Every structure is written in structure tokens, then in C-alpha cells.
Amino acid sequence: MTREKFYITTAISYPNGDPHIGHAYELIATDVLARFQRADGKEVFFLTGTDEHGIKMLQTARKQDISARELADRNAPKFQQMAQVLNASNDDFIRTTEERHHKASQAIWKAMAEKGDIYLGSYSGWYSVRDEAYYSEDETELREDGIRYGPQGTPVEWVEEESYFFKLSAYQDKLLDLYESQPDFIGPVERRNEIASFVKSGLRDLSISRTTFDWGVPVPGDEKHVMYVWVDALTNYLTATGYPDPDHPRAEFWPADCHVIGKDITRFHSIYWPAFLMSAGLPLPKRIFGHGFLFNKGEKMSKSVGNVIDPFALVDHYGLDQVRYFLLREVPFGQDGSYSHEAIVNRTNADLANDLGNLAQRSLSMIAKNCAGAVPQKGELSDADKAILAMADKALETARSAMLRQAIHQALAAVFEVVAEANRYFAGQEPWALKKTDPARMETVLYVTAEVLRRIGILCQPFIPDSAAKLLNILAVPDNQRDFAHLSENYALESGSALPKPEPIFPRYVEEEAGKAAS
């Protein structure tokens, strides 16, 4: 049986510096979405990578007195390492300097040219190096410092060059039709509305080549031009599916199901990208999701302020699953969010150490002591038993529909409601009291608790994969019975089967004492 395919991507990061928490956030969230579909039985292809061309890379390299290629080669491995440290389950990591990517970029260029959508002209305008964008005069402002600034507050300079143009203006109506006929194309809804009104206000043709530097993909047939970085960058999503080879083993993954990106690059993804694809005669991705930005205690992170958070240090300090859980639970995915030490400690101690960790610890150590280290005997189920078992099924349904909308926080909340309810169940049934009055009933309560923990463990895998695996291991759940299909009763724990010695899953975060930390 062929499984349904699911293709999901992150944006590709500029490796002009070290990876920061924003990059980590996007990768973790996309990893959760990918793992969720995998556990739900789909054949998933998950792509991430680095965007190595363009003037930003060139300028940073010049400042460091090295070539752009050296800069890319120095930093791209740090992004690969971050993917490992974050336990990202990406199936490929693309670097836009790779041969396969140059080929794909030139192929899409040729397809757009053959369609008659590319022409040679000359471009002059107010160019912001930082935004990599030209602005019209009325979008800029000459300030008192004598410098002209663009709409994003970055300095602009007058640039004149020969340039190829893409007939973006010809796609205005087609794009508006797209947003209308496929309302889920851009998420969340606020982003969709912004984009639609921007496109309605009119689109100008887009300058898509540069002659002022040669760091980029050469334009086929006119090698003094290199492609504008966004033409090549967006094409990375096709490159990884083997484009233009229709027989490539991954060809069938196109079109992508979801491009997960930050809100600052929604325009590139929901205006330029579908227009390029329409021009090249290729199917469009099904959805673009623009997530929010992470701030440090409400402040924008920047190198000059010195409040940039290093994802490696964060994971080292709090633990990987704690960081994954915190970022996805605390911030509704799609909105901006803030990071602080207090928030991460409160969140992970309350939900992971207390609710989930303690429930597993208490119930499994009771089983080890009172049920000879085996899955307890299941007697007749009471209404309370049935209700808590059914909650896990309901959580799967809620999570499924939330994950289709990338509402990761809602999916996670549904799973942790089961954890909270299981704690109430355990406390209410008082198995420690039943031990004396009704040992058979005690076993049933412990059985139900262990079985609910099995279901919670399966549901938690996409979010906190290492800890969920630990939980499933101490319940002796076989490796090949951990998908959502195995949530059902048919795969329930079997009374009498042996369990390993329980181990704690989540240590509590304990603040270092002031004196100790200082010494």
C-alpha cells in the first residue's frame, strides 16, 4: 500500500552568523509537524538548509576578510549541528551552493524565460542592501542625518544596473484568484489578509538579476548576471525533490504540503514563489505558514544589544525536551512570543516534572512494588476508567485538526489535558488506599493509569521525542508499536507482561544557589 506523502520545509537560514533561537524555534516547530504526520502514518519528507548566496553573505565575508564561500563553509556546519542537537528529524539538508541546486535554479529560470516572463531591462532605484530590496522614492525618507531610509528603517542607496526582470505584474489577478479560491494558502489568517491587500494595491515587475557581484547562481545564457538571491533561495524547495528530473525518487513529493517560515518573509513566499511556479508551469505548494517572532523578555534580540540567545547553550542548560516543550506550549504558533528564564522553569517544572514525570514515577513505582514488576491485572472497567482511556482518543482527534492548521500549541494542550486529567484520576482513585481494601481494584486502577501513560507517551513523541521514548521504554512498548495507529485498544498493555525497572523521566529544574553560581 502506498502511503500518503507529506512534504514540509523550514525557511533556509542565512549562514552569515551563528544560528540563533529564532532559527531553532522554526526548526523545532517544523520538526514537530513532520514527526506528527510520520506518527500518523504518512510518508514524510522534511527539508531544512542554508541560503548561502546574496549580498548579505558577501558583505559579512568582506568584513571578516574571507570569501563568501569560506564564510558559508564555516557556518553551514553549525546549522547542521544545530539540527542534530535539537533532534530534528529532517530527511535532507540543502545548501544552496550545491551543484544540484544550481541546476534546479537554472532550470526554473529557463522555464520562466520560455514562458516569456523574463526580459532584460535596466534598473535604477533606491536599494536597501539589508533588505535586499529596491524601493520607490515615495517609500523612502531622507532623515535629518542626511541618510535616506527605506520603509523598514534601513539605509538605501541609489543603484543603477542592467537587470533581468520577471513579469510579476502579469500575475496580480492570478495571485488574487489563488488567495480567493484556496483560502488556506496563507496562514495564519491575519497574514493572508495583509498579503491580499498588498497584492490588490498593485505589483511591479521584479528585478531578478544582479551584475554588481558574482556570488550567486549564474543566469543561463548570460553569465555576467547572477540570479537575485530570492529566485535561487525559493527554488531550494524544488531542488530537494530532484527538479527538473521527473524520475527522481523524490519527485512525487512536489508540491509541498507546507512551507513553515517567519512572518517577515511571507511576501516572498506567498507572492513571488507562487508567481514563479505558475510561470514555470509547476504545481503550487498547498500552504505557507508564517510564524511569529521570538523576543528576549519582550525585547527584540540583536547582536548589538547583546541579548541574542544561543540555542546550544539553552539546550545545554535546560535540556532539549524542556526547550522544545516550552517553545511550543508557551507561544501560540503564529503569534510573537517571549522567552525568559522564569517562564521556562515554571512551565517545565509544572507540566513536565510535576504532572507527567510524577504521574509516571508514582504509578510505575507502585506497580514495581505491588504487581511484581509486571503490567497489573485489568479487572472490569468502571465509568471513570473508561472515561480517562477515551480521553486519549479525543486528544488525537483534536491534535490532528490543530496540526493541519499548524496550531501546535493547541495540539500540545490537548495532550497535556489528558496528563492533567490522568493525575486527577489517579488521585481520586487512591490506589494506595485500595491496596488494603480492594487489591484487585488497585490493580485495575494501576493498569488503567499505565495504559493511559502508554497513550500519552505515543501522543507526546512528536513534541518531546526523547522523553516520550523513555516513557514508552519503561512501559515495555515495542518499537514497532508506537505510531498513532497503535493508540487503539488492540495494542493495549497486556496484564502480566514484564516491565523494566522504572526510571525518572523529567528531573525538576533546581535553581543554582546564588553563592554557588557565583563561585
Stretch that binds ligand ME8, among 30-38, 247-255, 262-270, 432-440 (CB under 6 A): 262-270
Q: Which is nearer to ligand ME8, 6 or 25 (CB)?
A: 25
Q: Which of residues 220-249 bind ligand ME8 (CB under 6 A)?
A: 233-234, 236
Q: Which of 6, 8, 26, 257 binds ligand ME8 (CB under 6 A)?
A: 26
Q: Which is nearer to ligand ME8, 331 or 399 (CB)?
A: 331
User: What's the 3-state SS for 12-36?
Assistant: CECCCCCCCHHHHHHHHHHHHHHHH
Q: Is 443 in the site for ligand ME8 (CB under 6 A)?
A: no
Q: Which of 264, 316, 397, 430 binds ligand ME8 (CB under 6 A)?
A: 264
Q: What is the closest distance, in whole angstroms, from the C-beta atom of residue 51 to ligand ME8 in the complex?
A: 3
CA gap 174, 194 in Å, rounded: 17
Q: Write the burial class of residue 4 (CB in 10 Å: 0-12 exposed, 13-18 middle, 19+ buried).
A: exposed
Quick one: which H or E segment has residue 127?
A: strand 118-128
The residue count for the chain? 519
Q: What is the CA radius of gyration of the chain?
A: 26
Q: Which is nearer to ligand ME8, 81 or 365 (CB)?
A: 81
Stretch that binds ligand ME8, among 7-15, 59-67, 344-352, 411-419 (CB under 6 A): 7-15
Answer for the pair 4, 11: CB distance below 8 angstroms, yes or no: no
Answer for the pair 239, 65: CB distance below 8 angstroms, yes or no: no
- E-assigned strand segments in 36-185: 43-50, 92-95, 118-128, 133-135, 141-142, 148-149, 157-166
Q: What is the closest distance, in whole angstroms, from the C-beta atom of residue 205 to ligand ME8 in the complex?
A: 21
Q: Is 86 in the site for ligand ME8 (CB under 6 A)?
A: no
Q: Which is nearer to ligand ME8, 295 or 484 (CB)?
A: 295
Q: At what angle are helices 358-370 and 408-429 packed, to 10 degrees?
A: 40
Q: Is 51 in the site for ligand ME8 (CB under 6 A)?
A: yes
Q: Which is nearer to ligand ME8, 293 or 491 (CB)?
A: 293
Q: Which is nearer to ligand ME8, 25 or 243 (CB)?
A: 25
Q: Which of residues 134-193 bind ligand ME8 (CB under 6 A)?
A: none
Stretch that binds ligand ME8, among 72-80, 259-267, 315-323, 504-512 (CB under 6 A): 259-267
DSSP per-residue string spanning 423-445:
HHHHHHH-HHHHHHH-HHHHHHH
Q: What is the closest distance, in whole angstroms, from the C-beta atom of residue 25 to ligand ME8 in the complex?
A: 5
Q: Which of 6, 7, 8, 11 binds ligand ME8 (CB under 6 A)?
A: 11
Q: Which of residues 274-313 bind ligand ME8 (CB under 6 A)?
A: 293-294, 301
- With cell 506523502, the residue in question is 5
Answer for the pair 75, 16: CB distance below 8 angstroms, yes or no: yes
Q: What is the closest distance, in whole angstroms, from the C-beta atom of residue 252 to ligand ME8 in the complex?
A: 22
Q: Which of 7, 25, 123, 326 binds ligand ME8 (CB under 6 A)?
A: 25
Q: Which of 6, 7, 13, 493 binds ligand ME8 (CB under 6 A)?
A: 13
CA gap 44, 347 in Å, rounded: 30
Q: Which is nearer to ligand ME8, 302 or 382 (CB)?
A: 302
Q: Is 93 in the site for ligand ME8 (CB under 6 A)?
A: no
Q: Is 207 helix (H, G, I), strand (E, B) or coil?
A: strand
Residue 214 identity (one-letter amino acid):
D
Q: Which of 150, 242, 262, 311 binds ligand ME8 (CB under 6 A)?
A: 262
Q: What is the closest distance, in whole angstroms, from the C-beta atom of residue 340 to ligand ME8 in the complex?
A: 14
- With cell 495564519, the residue in question is 188
Q: Is 335 helix (H, G, I), strand (E, B) or coil?
A: strand
**Cross-strand pairs, 291:** 262
Answer for the pair 286, 178: CB distance below 8 angstroms, yes or no: no
Question: 236: which 3 cell numbers?
Answer: 531550494
Q: How far is CA 270 from CA 172, 185, 223, 240, 284, in A?
A: 12, 8, 29, 20, 10
Q: Which is nearer to ligand ME8, 270 or 449 (CB)?
A: 270
Which positions from 320 to 359 touch ligand ME8 by CB under 6 A, shown as an x/- string?
A: ----------------------------------------
Q: Which is nearer to ligand ME8, 13 or 349 (CB)?
A: 13
Answer for the pair 187, 288: CB distance below 8 angstroms, yes or no: yes
Question: 59: which 3 cell numbers?
Answer: 558583505
How far is residue 368 CA from its own chain's centroid?
Answer: 39
Q: Which is nearer to ligand ME8, 56 or 470 (CB)?
A: 56
Quick one: which H or E segment has residue 219?
A: none
Residue nearest to ligand ME8 (CB): 262
Q: Which of 88, 186, 261, 352 binds ligand ME8 (CB under 6 A)?
A: 261
Q: Which is nearer to ligand ME8, 51 or 385 (CB)?
A: 51
Greatest alpha-carbon pair distance for the chain in Å reads 89
Q: Which is nearer to ligand ME8, 159 or 265 (CB)?
A: 265
Q: Is 12 in the site for ligand ME8 (CB under 6 A)?
A: yes
Residues lying near ligand ME8 in the complex (CB under 6 A): 11-14, 22-23, 25-26, 51, 233-234, 236, 261-262, 264-265, 293-294, 301
